[in-house]
Amino acid sequence: QTVVTQEPSLTVSPGGTVTLTCASSTGAVTSGYYPNWFQQKPGQPPRSLIYSTTDKHFWTPARFSGSLLGGKAALTLSGVQPEDEAHYYCLLYYGNANWVFGGGTKLTVL
Amino acid sequence: QIKLEQSGGEVKKPGASVKVSCKASGYSFTSYSISWVRQAPGQGLEWMGWVSAYKANTNYAQKFQGRVTMTTETSTNTAYMELRSLRSDDTAVYYCAREGWDLVDYWGQGTLVTVSS
């Protein structure tokens, strides 16, 4: 069974920079996994931030960026704002129309 | 604007079935697929499967194969997810989301399904 692993929790200070990562039990994450990143706040549906590793939607704030880092997908927040406190989930594509979510990272802004 | 509107919450007994609907608007329904994702209370997101709105072909996560059916109705731009033989651990919020070939972007508001005797 494929497992996608994220940091369970991270803490960052307002105005700081933090990088969340997303690893696959099958090996290095590449662009072929089309990494997607989502933000979810309590009581709300997830909101898509990044797709296909680095691409942003028109609604994605500029401080969010996606990349590949050391065999993992990564989401970097630069100049963190208090409203960025949320859960963040990655989603990887495993072919044949199969997707798998990571377990999520709870980001605290403190 | 693009919107996915889901049906209301459901309470079901163990062993029953539930069918959740997802009505899409604001885009060409058959140009995208619909993914279904669930989230148990206090837990993370779980991808359940996918249905093509164009060809109606499907792919289900192995965990749900044999117990889930995903369909679409192009005349009403609506997708459906039916889950059978419900158990208490199926209690969750069920989301539909629009899926392209490399992305999952717009989400429905979620439907709470509670399984309880």
pLDDT tens figures, B81-110? 999 999 999 999 999 999 998 888 999 999
Q: What is the pLDDT of residue A35?
A: 98
Cβ within 8 Å, pair A101-B107: no
Q: Give the model confidence (pLDDT) of B37-68 as tens digits.
A: 999 999 999 999 999 998 889 999 999 999 99
Backbone angles phi, psi at B20, to 5 degrees: -105, 135
Q: Where does chain B have alpha helices with state H? A: none
Does residue A40 carry a pLDDT above 90? yes
Q: How far is residue A38's CA from residue A11's CA, in Å, rounded to a whole number?
A: 18
Q: What is the pLDDT of residue B101?
A: 83
A33 to A8, B36, B37, B85: CA distances (angstroms): 21, 19, 18, 33
CA distance A49 to chain B (A): 8
Interface probe with B: pick from A30, A47, A99, A106, most Cβ of B within 10 Å? A99
* Partner residue facing B44 (CB), from A45, A47, A104: A104
**Number of residue pairs across A and B with CB atoms under 8 Å?**
60
Q: Give the model confidence (pLDDT) of A9-39 as tens digits.
A: 999 999 999 999 999 999 999 999 999 999 9
Q: How far is residue B106's CA from residue B97's CA, in Å, rounded to a whole number?
A: 5
Of B31, B30, B38, B27, nearest to B75 (Cα)?
A: B30
Does residue A97 carry a pLDDT above 90? no
Task: Find out whether B67 and B85 touch, Cβ atoms under 8 Å.
Answer: yes
CA distance B72 to chain A (A): 17
Q: Is B86 on the interface with A (CB under 8 A)?
A: no
Residue B115, Cβ density class (10 Å: 0-12 exposed, 13-18 middle, ≥19 buried): buried
Cβ within 8 Å, pair B47-A52: no
List the beta bridge partners of residue B94: B38, B111
3-state SS class at A49: strand
